[in-house]
Structure 1
Amino acid sequence: MPVRERVRAALETSRFQQAVIAVIVVNAATLGLETSAAVVGRYGTALSVVDHLALYFFTAELAAKIYAYGPRFFRDPWNLFDASIVTVSLLPTAGGLSVLRALRILRALRLISVVPSLRRVVTALLTAVPGMTSIVLLLGLVLYVAAVMGTKLYGATAPEYFGDLPTSLFTLFQMMTGDAWSDITREVMAEYPGAWVFFVLFMLVCTFVVLNLFIAVVVSAMEEEHAEESAQATAELGAAVMAELAALRAEVRELRDRVPPAPAAVRLPDGAAAPAGPAGPAAPAGPADPAAPAGSGRPAAPAAGRRASRRRPPRR
């Protein structure tokens, strides 16, 4: 087996994938511990060593994948995602690029490309983006219309919430997320008791209709992704079964060719002695029948039987 295929087989083993996941989790934990000044003061050197070892591991893994897969490595979006994260980690963090030090935590995102279930969810979300475009436009239109109405109706009463169009947009977006929407509504209702109609309709349309459409599109995309994976797994299983059947048929055909054919049964003429075969020697022949023609080989019948056969039947 060539060296490249050996490296590829080693990278695709479950043990290696588990080791990658363990390194990612440990590195993410160390980066989180570095946010504590007390922990850094006591274990700063150890945390730095673990961080550098994880970076070397990721760099070696990336180089091994590029060597094993060759040009195919750059055709997989997940490989490009891993390469971008490792490249950002390799950039210097001194001087004007010190802000990149905070981007080292992006290595934790590699769990998305390593864990199949996370990769499936992200793929479904990306697949649902085209379907969510029309929903985003609908939500933006509803927000714009409600913001203009809120500014015209309640701008003078609650200027901190509806003083101008940008402020109204932010207030309505905050209400759409469910954050303190009742407080804003009650403050406006102190001056306009009928304002609850506007706010309740807005919450019903945005929260219970438009946002649920987002969920429906994402769930539909995840179901399609799961169906495609199931179909692919079924096709692979069917191909494996057909290959196994073909191998079994070839083995049976080879065994059949090795077995010699059975000897054909030979029909002997009357009087010829059958050769001794697997069934055993031929039965010994008795004395020849005098009445039989010479050379017939039939045994002689008993004398009483011959006399009985010569006696004629009585006349009536």
Structure 2
Amino acid sequence: MKRFLGVVVFSLSLLLFGCSTDTTKEDREGVVVATTGQIADAIKAISGGHLQVSALMGPGVDPHLYKATQSDLSKLDKAEVIFYNGLHLEGQMLDIFEQMSKSKSVLAVGETLNKSDLLASDDDAMLHDPHIWFDIELWKGVVQAIGTKLQEEYPEFKDDFVANEKEYLKQLDELQVYAKNRVNEIPEKQRILVTAHDAFNYFGRSQGFDVLGLQGLSTDSEYGVKDVQEMVNFLVANKIKAIFIESSVSDKAMKAVIEGAKEKGHDIVIGGELFSDAMGAEGTKEGTYIGMYQHNIDTIVDALK
């Protein structure tokens, strides 16, 4: 009942918002909006400056819990094309995309991928893990889907889009080689990645790590004393020396794990901060997909090797 009322209220707000704006065709020309920085970065790489690209969610923002603001609605209303991850990553915004798709082009990039390539959700057998950007091969598929969509929407720039996409895919191939070479510095038995929530399962599958997260796929999942104790026991039994915090998730839980292990006579350090659901600040190396991925690889390898 609460969800029904929420949808009604939100739908009314969209109607009111639509009536109150005065967005002309010229205002929308070349305006593309993405939900996450990862998606926006790919669009910018392919568009090569031909389009006005922006992301709703900035550094440190958790997309699982994110709720659209009035400013977001304004950006979405002005956009010609909207890209979002899908696979229930932006769980609080699905009604928005459904409404927007009635009047403009909207693409859930994760849902363009072959379902057989996706990992299942541990929380719901009917859902998939949405953290697809941590598998570079999968992300190349997303980049290609974005490129196809942009070519359809802006055929006048097709040649540039095709060339830019080819170059970006080449950079992703180089990133994959870099990552593999760095991971090889870690003995196989030490390739165990422990983080705050299960954002790194695609990373683990593609790079050969066992991954353990205190929370589920969504940071909306709750954890309790039992979860902390089970993780502590695992870390002690496997003599894990480092765990990792995330830029978009509170470090409170991981600090509790460190204290729990210390009480059992096992010292664990925080190996560093990883970017999980959000990238770094705009204008920094970590504010790009490639820079973010390299940062994570370097942080993990340096702590575990």
TM-score normalized with structure 2 length: 0.24
Task: Choose between structure 1 and 2: higher helix proportion.
Answer: 1
**Higher RCO, 1 vs 2 (CA within 8 Å, ≥6 residues apart):** 2
Task: Choose between structure 1 and 2: higher strand proportion.
Answer: 2
